[in-house]
Amino acid sequence: MAKLDEKLEGVYQEVLKRNPGEAEFHQAVLEVLESLGPVVSKHPEYLERKIIERICEPERQIIFRVPWQDDKGKVHINRGFRVEFNSALGPYKGGLRFHPSVYLGIIKFLGFEQIFKNSLTGMPIGGGKGGSDFDPKGKSDDEVMRFCQSFMTELYRHIGEHTDVPAGDIGVGGREIGYMFGQYKRITNRWEAGVLTGKGLKFGGSLVRTEATGYGAAFFINEALKTRKDSFDGKTCLVSGSGNVAIYTIEKIHQLGGRCIACSDSNGVIVDEKGLDVGLIKQLKEVERRRIQDYASFHKHATYVPNGKIWEIPCQVAMPSATQNEINGKDAATLVKNGCIAVGEGANMPTTPEGVKVFLDANIVYGPGKAANAGGVATSALEMQQNAQRDSWKFDYTEKRLEDIMVNIHQLCHDIAEEYGAPGNYVLGANIAGFTKVADAMVAHGLV
């Protein structure tokens, strides 16, 4: 990665001082600041008005207790978070993550990334994120419902279609969104469809929202491959994870002519050289909520590797779609050595700084998460449009809107990278393009 400009070193040191122990947030901030040296040289007003310091400090941080009772009557206490990071471009927009690893630093890193991701979509949405250290895995539907109702009993007072619009993330799918929407409606006595996105199709949800993040990541990398007169056609691909993002990344890659041979979950890796059976994965993960190892029970030719390392499998395209920092420098070097020519991040910040450096130095196609996985939040914004219009769009129309947005994001990142003398560097292109739009809006709004 680029060396941090001396004009920004003090900003970063202040972030470290004010936010101790939040390693993921520090990493996300540094990754953006490393791209901004030429920007602040060109726009000294950003430094004069302390735009970067202000953008690194959330407008509001909310932490609250979430008590709930399990099926045996035992009481549990979890912690809930909502970080409303930046509203310069519109109401805060970003998902809710339910996972044991969640703490304030995780939510802040995700919210910080969300500012620039949302900016790149061209939609009028600001950046925020939330969640809890609650683990929905292994819980009954009733237990998940009771937790979600307790969580929303506090969160409802901080959100609204013109203020803050949460969606799903890891551990929060249609089931959880439905329970939270029901509780919001009950408490507020308002049918405010635009307060949550990722809703069920029967109560204000949008077609393509489920597929959007995965489809969008595939669209972005396909556009990037086109700049090198290439495509997914005939490519062997790996997709980490087996949740929502991974499933629909695999599906769209197959539609674009690629062949995904492996995916994973926290227990291990499934390898199917014939090409993954997306329909079976949907059944196992979305309907039956089973582990990915059960895939091998249905396809005897497939191999399950307990605690396996997916990035050791040779491929041409890798799409990390599980969680942050899942590809380190060694993994990145292995991928490049084994012939990988493109990496597209479906997850948020899944590659460590050392891994990013390996990809950039190797001059392969590398689509960072804030650009490549922006399709999810873009389609959430399309869901908000439909809710505001009391309308419902057809699948093909919404998918075309998503594809157009991802093509535009790619073109913007590509053009900005060239303008700043780093052709093909989508990290620099995404960071500068996302930042300058937010910064200009903040300048226009004055000191608020």
Structure tokens at 55: 């953008």
Tell me the C-alpha distance between 320 and 246, whole Å: 8
Q: Which of 93, 108, 117, 129 is catalytic?
A: 129
Structure tokens at 180: 């939270």
348 Cβ contact partners less than 8 Å away, ≥ 6 residues apart: 109, 110, 113, 324, 369, 370, 373
* Ranges assigned E (strand) in 144-274: 164-168, 236-239, 259-265, 268-271
Is 74 tagged catalytic?
no
Tell me the C-alpha distance between 199 and 170, whole Å: 15
* Ranges assigned E (strand) in 102-149: 126-132
Radius of gyration of the chain (CA): 21
Buried b / exposed e over 289-304, threshold 16 CB at 10 Å, is: eebbbebeeeeeebeb
Residue 208 region by backbone torsions, left for phi larger than 0, else alpha for psi between -120 and 50, else beta: left
* Residue type (1 letter), 445: H
CA terminus-to-terminus distance, the chain: 32
Sign (positive or negative) of CA dihedral 88, 91, 94, 96 = positive
- For residue 345, which of 261, 430, 421 has the smallest C-alpha distance? 430
What is the separation of C-alpha 87 from the centre of its chain, rounded to a whole number of angstroms? 18
Other CB atoms closer than 10 Å to residue 243's CB: what's the count? 23
How many CA atoms, within 13 angstroms, populate the side-chain half-sphere of residue 17? 7
- Tokens 């901004």, residue located: 36
Active site residues: 129
